[in-house]
Homo-oligomer: A and B are copies of this chain.
Amino acid sequence: MKKHIFNPGPSVLPEFTLKNTAGAVMDFNNTGISIMEVSHRSKDFESVLNEAIALFREMLDIPAGYSVLFLHGGASLQFVMIPYNFLNRKAAYLDSGSWASKAIKEAKLFGEVQVVASSKEQNYTFVPSGYTIPEDADYFHITTNNTIFGTEIKKDIDSPVPLMADTSSDILSRPMDVSKYGLIYGGAQKNLGPAGVGFAIIKDSMLENVGRPVPSLLSYKIHVENNSLYNTPPCLAIYACLQTLKWLRELGGLQAIHKINLEKSRMLYDEIDRNRMFMSPLTNADDRSVMNVVFVLKPEYAELQEQFLELAKSKGIVGIKGHRSVGGFRASIYNALSLESVKVLVGAMKEFESRS
């Protein structure tokens, strides 16, 4: 049975990425060597890295004056790197979810952290708004998409200080105005590739703001100077990211995928709103994530949770159990998740309603 993979991350990847990566594990570029065996200093691998960087630039229309990095450690390591490099006096953070909260925890080890707004007390059911970004902050940190709670900041906001954005779960899902950011970063394991590699798009002028000695592997400057080759990079993971970027270009780039993503999310939210058994736990419909669609059973049907999970499973649907901090269901509908898979889920919701 075909599986419909709604996993929150690691998550569904294009068949193109899977096939080419499996092929390269056996024989990379007809070299007779696996992508796991090839030297990261070889011309063959440097081409992979440089092509991935070039495609990242092309897809997001990254302007001159920015560097693209592939790094170890996922977004969590960058929760540490950002304050280590850039928190000299005070940093401002928006607390819009549990990943934001983890980033804040790490920053506090390095200096003063001003949380400009938080929706924690309301279990992160909305993205805080109406806050003021302090002009004396070294930077302002946001999480564009809250994977767990299903909220998303879908616009590029204006900030008087460098804007640092964890975009782990919505990178490459829509066009962005990169020029508004000091740093765009994340882990690859949603829209890009497997777990085990992160990315950073950093404004080069940020590197002048580093105010303390930084260990080499945590230094954006060292990674920029070494084109992500300061130490051995996760070659296989970068190769897989390149395949996804090629797939995305072939599909028509971010304008095209954004249109598809909006259609997928609209279809699912429409069903949640229509179906008498389900509801969205979010306070504000404007905050609804295009990537992670969180929904719950209405209180009167709450005891049917396991039954819906069983029905979904019988349709080949995988990974829709909600995070324990929210409960209910979460359909992660990243770039590679097909419209067909969304239709199967919507069909299951309709069937559940008619059966109950």
Contacts and interface: CB of A to CB of B under 8 A. Distances in A.
Interface of A: 1-3, 5, 7-13, 17-19, 21-23, 25-26, 31-40, 72-77, 79-80, 84, 102, 105-106, 109, 187, 189, 193-197, 213, 215-218, 230-237, 240, 316, 318-319
A32 B2 contact: yes
Q: A interface, by DSSP: helix, strand, loop or mixed?
A: loop
Given A25-B25, A72-B73, 5 more contacts: A10-B40, A13-B37, A36-B240, A72-B77, A194-B236
Contacts of A40: 10, 195
B216 A105 contact: yes
B319 A39 contact: yes
Contacts of A193: 36
Contacts of A2: 32
A18 B34 contact: yes
A161 B186 CA distance: 39
A287 B314 CA distance: 62
Ranked nearest first, the 6 interchain pairs of A and B with the lowest CB-CB distance are: A196-B234, A36-B194, A76-B231, A22-B25, A80-B215, A72-B73
A106 B11 contact: no
17 contacts: A8-B39, A9-B232, A10-B36, A10-B39, A18-B25, A19-B26, A22-B22, A22-B25, A72-B74, A73-B77, A73-B217, A76-B216, A76-B217, A195-B234, A196-B196, A196-B197, A237-B237
A230 B25 CA distance: 28
B234 A234 contact: yes
Given A39-B7, A40-B195, A80-B218, A26 B33 contact: no
A76 to B, nearest CB: 4
Contacts of A237: 196, 234, 236-237
A12 B37 CA distance: 5
A355 B105 CA distance: 66
Contacts of A109: 213, 215
Q: State how many copies of this chain the complex holds.
A: 2
A41 to B, nearest CB: 9
Given A25-B22, A106-B215, A232-B187, A72 B10 contact: no
A217 B77 contact: yes
Contacts of A197: 196, 234
A10 B26 contact: no
A13 B236 CA distance: 14
A77 B32 CA distance: 31
Contacts of A35: 194
A74 B71 CA distance: 11
A18 B32 contact: no
Contacts of A194: 35-36, 234-236
Contacts of A18: 25-26, 34, 36
A47 to B, nearest CB: 16
Contacts of A234: 194-197, 234, 237
A72 B196 CA distance: 7
